[in-house]
Homo-oligomer: A and B are copies of this chain.
Amino acid sequence: MKEVNAAIITIGDELLIGQTIDTNSAWMAKELNAIGVWVKRRVAVGDNAADIRYALDEESKEADIILLTGGLGPTADDITKPLLCDYFGGKMVTNDQVLEHVHYLFEHVFRRTGPMLERNLKQAEVPDNCTVLMNERGTAPGMWFEKEGKVYVSMPGVPHEMKGLMEKEVLPRLLKQFEMPVILHETLLTFGIGESILAEAIKDWEEALPVNMKLAYLPHYGMVRLRLTVTGHDKNLLEKELEGQVRQLKELVKEWLVIDMDLNMQQVVAKFLKERKQTVGTAESCTGGYVAHLLTIDPGASSNFKGSVVAYDNQVKKDILGVSDQSLESVGAVSEEVVKQMARGVLKNLKTDYALATSGIMGPDGGSEKKPIGTVWIAVGNADKIEAKEFHFRFDRSRNIEQTAITALNLLRKFIVENDG
């Protein structure tokens, strides 16, 4: 069986002037990968006819599937639709189903009054040589073209519209059209070991991997994800092969292993808390609510997360968390004493099983010789005991915030495991 290759082309000047970070491509690549399609290249080009044509010519040389996003909005800087029509040799016609849908959205969803704008009505115009893919979440439809055995799909760049189209239309149609190889992944999450030492520890095992297996190191804020991928045809056989290798790898990295699932740190913590029917609350100074945000981003958070006191100002630390004036004056807010009092304040006032507290200097200002930028105290505890630990990070402000949050969640994870099996 031949490998099925895809290319992703994202269109829009906003990607080339750095105004927009492309999150679509990563999501699309993950979904394509899961059905057995390998993304070979991703290209971003501007709202420029010659550049879009060049990208279409170029990417269709190697890829079987060419997915395009962007360039379909209602404003004047969008030129993609007529270009595609011409590229595939069609002419523009009004699609009644899309027109009806645009009217419906304006009346019932956007709740607009007044006449429709011409530029909105134009969204119902499509090339007569494409299969129209209905976009339930917006006015611009998806368009499916076929040429010389290759598939080209154009979708709007708005992430939740693109996702709706991919899930409902594009992925099911691709599965019908192509015979896919099997691609399986297994992921191990590790924490507290650098990429190079980890690589050294598993060197012999990695070098002996069969040719259809590939290991990727994915470092992220003190964590390293190890992603093992196997490609082939016989799903049952591949599953067994993968399972055997994962078992060996787990043994080699057991000292740093967080979990053998593709979860992030906050998902691991949430899983552990749910399994034990326990709750946590946070007291955050330097992380400014970011730990709470991480703990509430996934559905179902209310069963294990009660709340947080973001005590950015010392007065809030005193008034709501009961941190003592004397501690703040003698040892300062970034100290073992204060961070432990903050954790105690959470247990008392939020009535949770566990408390997590952070206080530190994130930069770029506020450092001193005794407490340089990157100095962080984190406390974790329950009714029986509260532990605190000092860290020194050396990144910029936003990365220091994220690193502190992940490190705090990892301390909580370890505390749960150590104190509650």
Contacts and interface: CB of A to CB of B under 8 A. Distances in A.
Contacts of A292: 288-289, 292, 310, 312
B295 A305 contact: no
Contacts of A41: 16, 43-45, 51, 55
Contacts of A306: 312-313, 315-316
**SS class of chain A's interface: helix, strand, loop or mixed?**
mixed
Interface in A27-65: 27-31, 33, 38-46, 51, 55, 58
A101 to B, nearest CB: 15
Nearest to A295: B288
A365 interface: yes
A232 interface: no
A310 B309 contact: yes
Contact of A312 (B216, B302, B312): B302
A71 to B, nearest CB: 12
Nearest to A292: B289
A216 B43 CA distance: 20
A207 B75 CA distance: 12
13 contacts: A18-B29, A73-B196, A76-B215, A119-B199, A284-B289, A288-B295, A292-B292, A292-B310, A300-B365, A307-B320, A308-B309, A319-B349, A319-B351
Interface of A: 13-23, 25-31, 33, 38-46, 51, 55, 58, 73-77, 109-110, 117, 119-120, 158-160, 185, 194-200, 203, 206-207, 214-219, 225, 227, 229, 281-282, 284, 288-293, 295-302, 305-313, 315-316, 319-320, 349-351, 363-365, 394-399, 401
